[in-house]
Amino acid sequence: MEQIQPSTEGLRYRKKLKARLAVERSALELVTERGYDGVTVEDICARAEISKKTFFNYFPSKASAVMGRFDTFPNDEHLLAILEEHDEACYLDVLVGIVGASMASGVDEDIVALRREVLRSMPQLFFQGQRDLLAVQHSIAAALRSYLSEHPERRMLSNQLVDEEALVASSTAIGLARTRSMLHVCGDSKPSATDVRHLVMAYLSAGDRVSGASCL
Amino acid sequence: MEQIQPSTEGLRYRKKLKARLAVERSALELVTERGYDGVTVEDICARAEISKKTFFNYFPSKASAVMGRFDTFPNDEHLLAILEEHDEACYLDVLVGIVGASMASGVDEDIVALRREVLRSMPQLFFQGQRDLLAVQHSIAAALRSYLSEHPERRMLSNQLVDEEALVASSTAIGLARTRSMLHVCGDSKPSATDVRHLVMAYLSAGDRVSGASCL
DNA sequence: GGAATAATTTACACCTAGTATAAATATTCA
DNA sequence: TGAATATTTATACTAGGTGTAAATTATTCC
């Protein structure tokens, strides 16, 4: 029987876990004390007692140490497979679900609570993760290009080209995932992907209920 | 009679304009040749024959030289004033209109065409401007916090806190503006802010017309 | 337990975006 | 032309992020 994860126990593994936690905790504490821009990666390294290079072995960016990594976000083939599989639901909901699930995976309770505190008091941080989300967005756009080409019946913007729908969709999916995260962190409900989509729909259509409407 | 723009003619002004154009042209040409990541700011400076510092006097970031600046985006008081003024329309449409207008202002025909070409062949670039959009988004969020506090009747997410609505709204406005820009650049229609909002609404609701729906 | 081997960490040097400062240069206007 | 002013420049710096090769550290096999 082959093991999927090369090492899921042993000293090496435990140290890794501890180091990763130390980094996340240090990052969140420092950001709480001095704000995002008042903290450098080297500050975080110093507190977590690791080198800068090790930091970047664990986290692809400064933001990811504070905001969480997209650990389990599937690679391109896997993503496509998931889309193929969930052909009963709106693909946007599927994507928003995956992005959400990959955001806070494998992090301990403590860190999740700390991060929530930090985000509640500095909601601008919701928009710091851009660089990391870009990779996610690219994957999504690529997967959708294949998927929608092969399953035109699943398209939701039939008047646009497939490439355009993929572009708009990847952007929308990330936007919905972020909105969901904001609602979850700042409020106290945990809306489903579908809930968030409905909420945003209602939000957008509320625009038509104002006096004059449609002018710009 | 006081002049609003300190100098709208004279050698100094003309040189400025020429330099700015040279930078935009150089940036777009180089990116066409080598891709965004294959070009450094210093490459652009070399071709445009200016120093790096001058580059950053003209443009707040590398991305802004390629994608366009937000020249005329109003400052916080002005933005608030605009919102107060346009009380007949959906505030999202107002914001999307302003963002769109401030993106490609004062640029010559040539550059607009070049930029369009570049974006059509490298649509990932639509997501490069993040850093610059962040400032815009902050302004919007701040303006909305005041505006919605003083005009609760204009709120569109009455079940959430004002701060939450401001957060979601600023994010949504930027998203809509980007979607509009994508549709405009990649397609050949120029949808209005309201059109885009309606299109996205239709898009989101199309998700409910699939077989199973609602699961994640 | 100890040596060979493999995985990680580290120090170090490097690249690039972006900022600050002060000297040099160009423009304006009298 | 020359004084006042705006702009550019050279230069040096900070910070995020990457690549490389040496040094640690864990594992494994005897």
Search chain B and give the residue with CA nearest A131. B130
Whether residue B142 is predicted with pLDDT greater than 80 in this model: the reply is yes
Residue B123 contacts residue B186 (beta carbons within 8 Å) = yes
Give me the count of residues in chain A.
216
Q: Name, in order, each residue with C-beta under 8 angstroms of B84's C-beta and a sequence gap of 6 or more.
A: B147
Distance of alpha carbon B64 from alpha carbon B60, whole angstroms: 7
Distance of alpha carbon A119 from alpha carbon A115, whole angstroms: 6
Mean pLDDT (whole number) for B56-61: 96
Lowest mean pLDDT among A102-116, A193-207, B44-58, B150-164: A102-116
Chain A neighbors of B200, CB-CB under 8 A: 168, 172, 204
Mean pLDDT (whole number) for B184-204: 94
Q: At what angle do helices A91-103 and A130-150 cross, to 10 degrees?
A: 150
Residue B107 contacts residue B68 (beta carbons within 8 Å) = yes
What is the pLDDT, as a whole number, of residue B169? 97
What is the pLDDT, as a whole number, of residue B188? 83
Search chain A and give the residue with CA nearest B174. A175
Residue % of chain B over a pLDDT of 70:
91
What is the pLDDT, as a whole number, of residue B6? 45
Lowest mean pLDDT among A148-157, B36-45, B129-138: B129-138
Distance of alpha carbon B23 from alpha carbon A132, whole angstroms: 28
Amino acid at A204: L
**Of B124, B200, B210, Cβ closest to residue A90:** B210
| Protein chain B, residues 5-64, with a C-beta closer than 7 Å to any atom of nucleic acid strand C | 7, 10-13, 15, 39-42, 52-53, 56, 60-63
Q: How big is chain B by its Cα radius of gyration, in Å? A: 20
Would you give per-residue pLDDT tens digits along chain A (216 residues)? Answer: 333 334 567 888 999 999 999 999 999 999 999 999 999 999 999 999 999 999 999 999 999 999 999 988 999 999 999 999 999 999 999 999 999 999 876 678 999 999 999 999 999 999 998 889 999 999 999 999 999 999 999 999 998 999 999 999 999 999 999 999 999 999 888 999 999 999 999 999 999 986 543 333
Give chain B's mean pLDDT. 90
Prediction pTM value: 0.91
Rounded distance in angstroms from the CA atom of residue A40 to the C1' atom of nucleotide C5: 37
Distance of alpha carbon B186 from alpha carbon A140, whole angstroms: 19
Q: Name, in order, each residue with C-beta under 8 angstroms of A69's C-beta and a sequence gap of 6 or more.
A: A59, A60, A132
Residue A163 contacts residue B186 (beta carbons within 8 Å) = yes
The DSSP secondary structure of A129-145, one letter per residue, reads: THHHHHHHHHHHHHHHH
